[in-house]
Amino acid sequence: MAPLMQALGLRYQYADGTEALRGVDVHLSPRENLFIFGPNGSGKTSLLLRLCGLLEGPGDILLDGTPVSPKAPGTLRRRVGVVFQDADDQLFMPTVMEDVTYGLLNLGKTTDEAIRLAEQALRLVNALELREKAPYHLSGGEKRRVALAGVLAMKPEILILDEPTTSLDPPGQRELLRILAGLDQAKIITTHDTHFAQALGGRALFLEHGLVAGEGTVRDIVRQFSWEVGPAFARDGQSDN
Ligand SMILES: Nc1ncnc2c1ncn2[C@@H]1O[C@H](COP(=O)(O)OP(=O)(O)O)[C@@H](O)[C@H]1O
Ligand SMILES: [Mg+2]
């Protein structure tokens, strides 16, 4: 069976000449979690933006084995939902409800239907009681959940999240973990939080300088690249033993 999503030889060069992606392959099965690890500047965010159709460049993206035509990047944007690293980049309407219904109304849903789908999505992320609040009054964790609701309301088949645990406190991280574990969508997630990744479980890619340096289970990749804060501190002599 063809993978749900397959990307072949993705490249991306920014206007200043920076080669952020230098030929990256990705495959994703239904319901699978794929983590993208790698140092700052290795191309993680560029890869996500390329996979959701917000950046365009050389390489092919296939959904269910069918190439997405470069002439119809809208196909990708309809089927792939992305939650940006900074929720402030995502939330811009005066109230949470207006924010979550915004995309639905743009798709041509009636107001009643948009509100129904938005309520459903807000309930999924445990944020229905925030519906009349102004997004800029929300805590970091609440903003993240509302941004996720705005994406889930559109019912994407693939969910992309860029460093979703950044700036969340431990209860906020556990809440996000619980929500993500309960979602059916296949997910592509960048993170430095290997505990979060191991708790959710799945496969991982390790990016370096815009190339895939390793691929395997989360556990294998963390071990192969010593990609954990604890052991690094221990090597620096800061552990008690
Ligand atoms: N808008 C931009 N213009 C020029 N270079 C950029 C831009 N955004 C990112 N880059 C560069 O592209 C490379 C990959 O960046 P990014 O995808 O953000 O990496 P990561 O998310 O892994 O930190 C880095 O060298 C970064 O400096
Ligand atoms: Mg990034």
**Count of domains forming the chain:** 1
pLDDT for 210 equals: 98
- Check: CB of residue 200 under 8 Å from CB of residue 180: yes
Closest CA to 35 of 180, 192, 142: 192
Beta bridge partners of 12: 21
161 inside domain: yes
- Check: CB of residue 91 under 8 Å from CB of residue 51: no
CA-47 nearest atom, ligand 1: 17
Of the bound ligands, which one is closest to the alpha carbon of residue 166?
A: 2
58 inside domain: yes
User: Which residue is listed with tokens 């072949």?
Assistant: 8
Closest CA to 57 of 68, 70, 41: 70
pLDDT tens digits, one per residue of 108-121: 999 999 999 999 99
- Per-residue confidence at 241, pLDDT binned at 50, 70, 90? very low
Closest CA to 159 of 87, 51, 103, 81: 81
Closest CA to 145 of 128, 162, 163: 128
84 inside domain: yes
Q: Output the pTM of the full model.
A: 0.94
Distance 84 CA to ligand 2 centre (A): 9
18 CB near ligand 1 (under 6 Å): yes
55 inside domain: yes
- Check: CB of residue 144 under 8 Å from CB of residue 87: yes
20 CB near ligand 1 (under 6 Å): yes
Query: Do β-strands 66-67 and 33-37 pair in parallel, antiparallel, or remain unpaired?
Result: unpaired
42 CB near ligand 1 (under 6 Å): yes
pLDDT for 240 equals: 47
CA-43 nearest atom, ligand 1: 17
pLDDT tens digits, one per residue of 170-223: 999 999 999 999 999 999 999 999 999 999 999 999 999 999 999 999 999 999
pLDDT for 32 equals: 97
Of the bound ligands, which one is closest to the alpha carbon of residue 38?
A: 1
pLDDT for 232 equals: 54
41 CB near ligand 1 (under 6 Å): yes
Q: How far is CA 111 from CA 54, 115, 126, 186, 197, in A?
A: 27, 6, 22, 29, 37
Distance 184 CA to ligand 1 centre (A): 30
41 inside domain: yes
Which CATH number is 130's domain given? 3.40.50.300
CA-18 nearest atom, ligand 1: 5
Query: How many Å from the N-terminal Cα to the C-terminal Cα in the chain?
Result: 50
Q: Is it the case that residue 73 has pLDDT exceeding 90?
A: no
Residue 155 structural domain: 5-235
145 inside domain: yes
Which residue's CA is minimally distant from atom 20 of ligand 1? 41
Helical segments of the chain, H only: 44-51, 73-79, 96-106, 111-124, 140-152, 170-181, 194-200, 218-224, 229-235
Distance 150 CA to ligand 1 centre (A): 26
The radius of gyration of the chain's CA atoms, rounded to the nearest angstrom, is 18
240 inside domain: no
SS3 label, residue 30:
coil
